[in-house]
Structure 1
Amino acid sequence: MFIKVVKTIKKGDEFVDKKYLWTWSVWIGIMTFIYVFIYALLPAFATNVLWMTFVALPIFFGGGALVKEIPHYFCSAVAGVLWGWLMLQTAGFMTQAGINAALSLGFAVGFGTFLAIGIHMIPLGNTLLGKVTIVFGSAAMCFATGGENLVTVIGTLLGGLVLGAIFTVGGDLLQKYVFNKKAEDLEEVKA
């Protein structure tokens, strides 16, 4: 029978200290409070897109949460918003030309998605514009606003990425300076 030296959760090949996770959760909560408080004081708050911050976060974390990749995520997010706007404009143009609205929207979004994803995965995959997940997510954020307030949408997505970086850096600092733990410090011992 084995017990852990410290109460830990085994996640893959890593051991994660539960106390660390709770402490990091407090850090995330405090930083979220500060972010939302500041955002609520800005004119952008009136556009009702604060929630987009919390869409950018899981996209960033799902991609590994590497702070050095923030410029890649930001440039890709801007491209995604522009793709979303282009899809909406195309659908509107087709509808005004007399084509059925559902067919217009289906074509614009389907073909636009094909182009956006293909272009950002293949020729742009290894560039600042190669984060396909946020291209796709940002296009959806543009749809949610009907293609309006694009600067606010882009700024809010950037806010989500910056908040994700703050979470990550804070977590790294907690591990290094508060908990002084590494995976090899949390060994299993025989009972």
Structure 2
Amino acid sequence: MIAELYLAGRHQVATNLLILTLEKRPSAQIQNLIFDLEAMQPGAKAVMAAAARTLTPEDAASLLLRMERCGLPEQAQVIFRSTIYNGLVGQSGSFLAALGLSNSSYARVDVLCNDAREMGVETVAYLLLALESASLTNHVAAIIQVRCHSCPILDVVMLISRLTASNRGPLMERVVTGILDHFVNARSLTEQVSLLAAP
């Protein structure tokens, strides 16, 4: 019924039914439900992505934790990406803060740093802003180190440009300051001059 509601465009109703169903089932039954959803159109991942978009950040974090605890990493990853990269920095920050309070692996510094290594500049900029909005400053510093420690200067310029284009005020200023502080402390004087001279 959840998949049918989703296909009918009733995403909020499908999400509500999914949440109610998950709250009352043990892990084995949840796994079976997800496998059954995956076998139907549009599939469990599409349903999870729709659910993540309609839930509050805290409820999306609870859903992700449920998927983690039930051994469903693909669905947890879909929820994570759908919630983090929704275009709303404040909501993404609340989601990350809730994951951090719940000790989710998705809020661990090492996990986020590994993800950040593979991300494009725009995605990293967005993640840094979301982490800063959640006051996860150790996470911000770690990702800045991963992305700016030994990369080409052009990558740092592109990241700063993307951040300044975001018009996120104090959030952006704190992240850019963190990048510049790291660059001054970790890179050579020649590289610092090159950064200043970059367009």
TM-score between the two structures when normalised by the length of structure 2: 0.22
More strand by share: 1
Largest Rg, 1 or 2: 1
Higher relative contact order structure (alpha carbons within 8 Å, sequence separation ≥ 6): 1
